[in-house]
């Protein structure tokens, strides 16, 4: 199949560097890149291990954090009561 592609500048630069380093032709490189990309794009997503947050008991709170202004003042050492 013959077609015309318009490549973004960054893609064209990468292809040209790869072409020179492999001493290959552009057609083969584009086909290989498309095959790899299409295979990755159509593959089922890998199953990930669920993220778990470890918890620990901090004991009773030192201050009442329901009043944000009071909590900030306490944290900043203003002796707010």
Instruction: Determine, yes or no, domain membership for 35.
Output: yes
Asked whether residue 68 is assigned to any structural domain, the reply reads no
Domain that holds residue 36: 9-42
Find how far residue 69's CA is from the centre of its chain.
Answer: 36
In a domain, 19, yes or no: yes
* 29 within a domain of the structure (yes/no): yes
> What was the pLDDT predicted at 68?
86
Is 81 a domain residue? no
In whole angstroms, give the CA distance from residue 38 to residue 5: 16
74: nearest Cα among 58, 61, 55: 61
Q: What is the pLDDT of residue 81?
A: 54
38 three-state secondary structure: helix
CA distance 47 to 38: 19
Q: 18-70: per-residue pLDDT in tens?
A: 999 999 999 999 999 999 999 999 999 889 999 999 999 988 877 777 888 88
Q: Considering the domain boundaries, does residue 80 fall inside one?
A: no
How many domains are there within the chain?
1
Label residue 1 by pLDDT band (50, 70, 90). Answer: confident
């Amino acid at each position: 199949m013959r077609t015309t592609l318009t490549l973004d500048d960054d893609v064209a630069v990468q292809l040209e560097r790869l072409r020179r380093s492999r001493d290959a032709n552009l057609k083969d490189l584009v086909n290989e890149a498309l095959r790899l990309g299409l295979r990755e794009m159509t593959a089922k997503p890998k199953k990930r291990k669920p993220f778990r947050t470890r918890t620990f008991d901090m004991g009773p709170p030192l201050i009442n954090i329901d009043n944000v202004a009071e909590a900030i003042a306490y944290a900043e050492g203003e002796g707010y009561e």
